[in-house]
Amino acid sequence: MPSVLQRRTSSSLASIVSVTCAKMSTHAVPLASENGRHALLIREDQSWLAFNERVLSEAENADTPLYERIKFLSIFLSNLDEFFMVKVDPIHRESERLVALESHRTCDDPLPVLRRRLNSEVKRVNSLYEKELLPELADSDVQICTLDTLSARQSNRLRKTFVENILGLLTPLIIDKAHPFPYFENQRCYLLVQLKAKNSPLNTYSYGVVQLPSSCGRFVRLTDKNRSLFVYLEDAIVQNVDQIFPWASVVRSAVIRVTRNRELTLLDDQFDDMLESVEQGLRNKTAKQVVRLETSQRLPVSLKQFLMRHFEIEGSEIFEYNGRLVTQELAQLIPSGPHPNKDPVFHPATTRRLKRMESPFEVIREGDIWMHHPYDSFTDTLHFLEAAASDPRVVSIKQTLYRTGNNSPVASALLRAAEAGKQVVAIIELTARFDEKRNVSWAKKLRQAGATVVFGIEGWKTHCKMTLVVRREGTVLQSYAHVSTGNYNAKTAQIYTDLSLLTANPEITADVATLFNTLTGLPKGAGISSVFSTHFSQRMKVIKVAPFGLREFFAEKIDHEIREARCGKQARIALKLNSLTDPELIAHLYTASCAGVKIELLIRGMCRLQAGVRGVSQNIRVVSVIDRFLEHSRIYCFGTGPKSEVFVGSADFMPRNMNRRVECVWPVQDQKGKEKIQKILNIGLADNVKAHEMQPDGSYARVRKKGRESIQSQSVFIEWAQKRTEQ
């Protein structure tokens, strides 16, 4: 059961009062709802770790193909890296504030609970890798060799490979008074060696450091006729240490890796241009503090203390593996292309209506086109954008870009359109976490091509995904829009599940145009006034936008279902989200549960709501699906039967999505689209193969079939796509 801080929040969520640990067996945050019932609120960091443990469980699942297990383990480790970069430093600050309080109680401090859980995860990873994955790899003709298992011929081949391909990339560094302590880059592996001078009668030792070059990968491949042989890069360096430190022999070695806080500091006071501010913030890497040190094995006490002093960390921030430091680079072992130990090859469907005609615009005018990615190909979206870039009758293209990718065909289409003299407006989110460098690069290229590049409204991230194309048709200007739950990224579109809509609906296209004009024409601070918010909301016909009343919109939809239930009518709320963490909306859902509303939640990641608690959330079910594709689409369904309302959008139920990001949510107005999206939601909720259900104590357990037919939702969607392809 995830342990969490204990607080009491009033119905306005404004006042926080301590609650004694002795009174709470669930270790959760109580929310006092309007009717006085107490509800539980799971800590966000613990919920994040619970999600990542569900990912780890897929790596531990023996029914999952071997290379998919390695993929899930790599994803788990990547997610854990992000957790340390983003979440750990705020938890440290919270702990320090609590310790400073005279009324501090040990059970309030989140750090001990966090450390125990993280150490437990390291043990699970060690056991999985050493006891299951390595033997399975060996059985499948993939051998990861150690130096003592290499034959003389293989050892010679490794030395030759080292001299030809690795040695020139290495820089040996000695740690002593004459050599400053080196800077350890974030999440780069380093070989730390204890050295003893050859032919020296003195028992004196030196420490040396060699960065493992990322261009080599973590594994060195040795060719073999019958099987794939790999050697750890660090072992290759140790074997050839005489080439690097010719004066010494190795006494012991360990791979170490630091993780640094990933807080991007924008220097707003020093730069007038946000582009310059973000670039400087990215350069300022040396200021990032170390929040974790990983080692491949236990270090001598003196060395550990030495590293603690230089990295300014505590012993509890050192995580020791048992022989090998396991990182997300494990994914390098996964062969490209089809393989019996991978998921079957899947070919997405293309929209038949679009295939009929060279230009997509006439087809879109005939009726809305809904796409469910990656089951429906992203090439249909690219076809729309590329047609807009090349069509001489298209006069304007406006697009938001959040995560684009390196060789983005989407951004390339915008470049061609700008170079052709069309009006191109790109709203680029420079501070999209981990994509800042790519977005800065595309911003510069688009500016040089003549596009108008802006960065949204200062202080708010532009998270909505939309494109507006204006085309001259006869004597009128016809608008077309593409709105999506996912990013304009051709690579992630193959592995993320998302929904998108191509439409010429005049209400939606008018709203998209209004939103674009707001993003390009609203200065910092102007949007926070209630007058502007009311004016903006009144102008929008069907699309709902955060931070201009989206939370209030969802609260009203929930309240409507509450009123229906209290009148004895059937009431239902079904949501598909990435995360559910907003306390106010959670309080509304608890109230709805107490009123008798049936609530079904398909939440991939963090969920602070605690389901199945008697008297609070007994009518709420929370399910999380972890499968080959990352669930990313957001669906909001209110009501039952023909009168039910269905919406799709970019917003999760999180404070940041409601308060600090520009999001858009739009209604599903055509009956065919409504039926399709409700079916997608219901099949996801019915999954009993890859689904995990939240228990009343806040933990998760795999959904059991209990004699029912197996339903693996993503496999169902793949079958649908294959049938559409065959027709």
Which residues are part of the catalytic machinery?
463
Distance between CA atoms of residues 674 and 668, nearest Å: 6
Token pair belonging to 440: 């800065």
Q: DSSP letter at 641?
A: G
- What count of other Cβ atoms lies within 10 Å of the Cβ of residue 454? 17
Distance between CA atoms of residues 540 and 513, nearest Å: 10
Instruction: Please provide the DSSP assignment of 506-556 as one string.
Output: HHHHHHHHHHHHHHHH--TTGGGSHHHHHHHHHH-SS-EEETSSHHHHHHH
| Residue from 280, 279, 291, 350 nearest 318 by CA | 291
Distance between CA atoms of residues 691 and 699, nearest Å: 13
- For residue 441, give every residue at least 6 positions away whose Cβ sits within 8 Å of its Cβ, in sequence order, or none: none
Token pair belonging to 583: 């306390």
- For residue 429, give every residue at least 6 positions away whose Cβ sits within 8 Å of its Cβ, in sequence order, or none: 400, 401, 402, 439, 455, 456, 461, 462, 463
First to last CA, the chain: 49
> Does residue 69 contact residue 339 with C-beta atoms inside 8 Å?
no
Which helix (H) or strand (E) is 9 found in, with range? strand 7-9
- Phi, then psi, of 27 in degrees rounded to 5: 55, 55
| Residue from 320, 309, 291, 297 nearest 193 by CA | 297
By CB atoms closer than 10 A (0-12, 13-18, 19+), residue 724 is: middle
Distance between CA atoms of residues 490 and 495, nearest Å: 10
> Does residue 716 contact residue 683 with C-beta atoms inside 8 Å?
yes
